Structure 1
Amino acid sequence: MTASDQCQTQGKIERWHQTLKNRILLENYFLPGDLERQIEASIQHYNHQQYHERLNNLTPWFGRASATIK
């Protein structure tokens, strides 16, 4: 892995954290478990429902599975 690849990976991770933070800040949480459930729902949505142009409009989970099959 080159330094350029590491920078791109770090940027993707930082972007994901920003997206998660913005989504979480849209709601109020009254019980301790509410925030945990929202984070879990966001991760599930990102991995299994949200389509990503970079992955030929597949979800990350499906894209990873189809790459493994190939």
Structure 2
Amino acid sequence: MNTLIAIRKAQGIRSTSPITILKAEASEYVAIINSNTIVKLGPGMSFNTNWTLATYGTNWAVWTN
């Protein structure tokens, strides 16, 4: 949890930050928050991107740019 809080602060994410949903399906959800953070919920870690994997766990990951 502390890592996620640190990422949120470093990326300037607030409750009013813009969100763009890239994928919303029964088994997977992917969104870009604040144009600088990607959150993926669901199985699989495959994400074709030049972004940096910031943290991950079972069925979730966060990338930053």
Scaled by the length of structure 2, the TM-score of the pair is 0.30
**Higher helix proportion (structure 1 or 2):** 1
Name which structure has the greater RCO, CA cutoff 8 Å, separation 6+: 2
